[in-house]
Amino acid sequence: MCGRYLYLTEEDELRELLYLASFGTGFDPENDFSGGEIFPSARVPVVTGWFGDSVEYSKAEIKAEISRWGFPRRDYSLSGAGLIINSRRENVIRSPIFSKLLDTGRCAVPASGYFEWGITETDEFEPQIQVSLFDDDPISYLSKNKKKQKYFFAASNDTVLYMAGLISRDKNESRFTIITGDANKSAVSVHNRMPLVLTRNMLSIWLSPDAGYLDILHGAIPDAALL
């Protein structure tokens, strides 16, 4: 987790964030961004500032930018291979890559929701081979066949879902990862990891220069809604 998420520009807040992040950058929201399912290496809007006391998007001062999803590894390729797309929250403080970004590189990744893959049993049985000296048919149908299934999680209150992230900038472009933690009760039935979801009340704290972000980093992850 999290390997893909959904960004629907039909949602007013997400569309406005796209244009806000693109303004003055040369990034064309109409031609350079298709929306829909977002894959690693894509250039997408991220929020880097949420100022004011209001938890409402329309009443807060928002700062956003276009950033590429994934930090490069040595074997980096634009296809997405070799990208560090997630950072485990239990490791970021002691990680030489991520720890320095906690002070100056926190961001929030807006989305319509995120996808996760879980294992589910089908009604079909998977053939298991058994060798028996007393059976002319060595094939026995012993266990149910299992397959991966794609699940979709959204914000529990029908608003835009924000995920905590870390952003790194150089002279060419910025890149980000999504912070993950152990799944809470809302997601653990599908996968043992989930993104560090941010409620509206958590956004300004996470993006503030104050040290309150540490409480969010180590605190309980808010629920997501399985749709």
What are the pLDDT tens digits along the chain (227 aa)? 568 999 999 999 999 999 999 999 999 999 999 899 999 999 999 999 988 766 777 778 899 999 999 998 765 445 545 789 999 999 999 988 899 999 889 999 999 999 998 877 666 655 554 443 444 444 444 455 677 889 999 999 889 999 999 999 988 899 999 999 999 999 999 999 999 999 998 999 999 888 899 999 999 999 999 99
Sign of CA dihedral 42, 2, 87, 110: positive
Q: What is the pLDDT of residue 81?
A: 59
Q: What is the pTM of this model?
A: 0.85
Domain extents in the chain? 4-117+150-226, 119-148
Helices (H), the chain: 12-22, 101-104, 200-207, 213-218
Q: Which amino acid is at 76?
A: Y
Q: What is the pLDDT of residue 224?
A: 96
**CA dist 91 → 162, 178, 202 (Å):** 21, 13, 21
Contact call for residues 219 and 204 (beta carbons, < 8 A): no
Cα first-last separation, the chain: 17
Which fold is adopted by the domain 4-117+150-226? hypothetical protein yedk fold (3.90.1680)
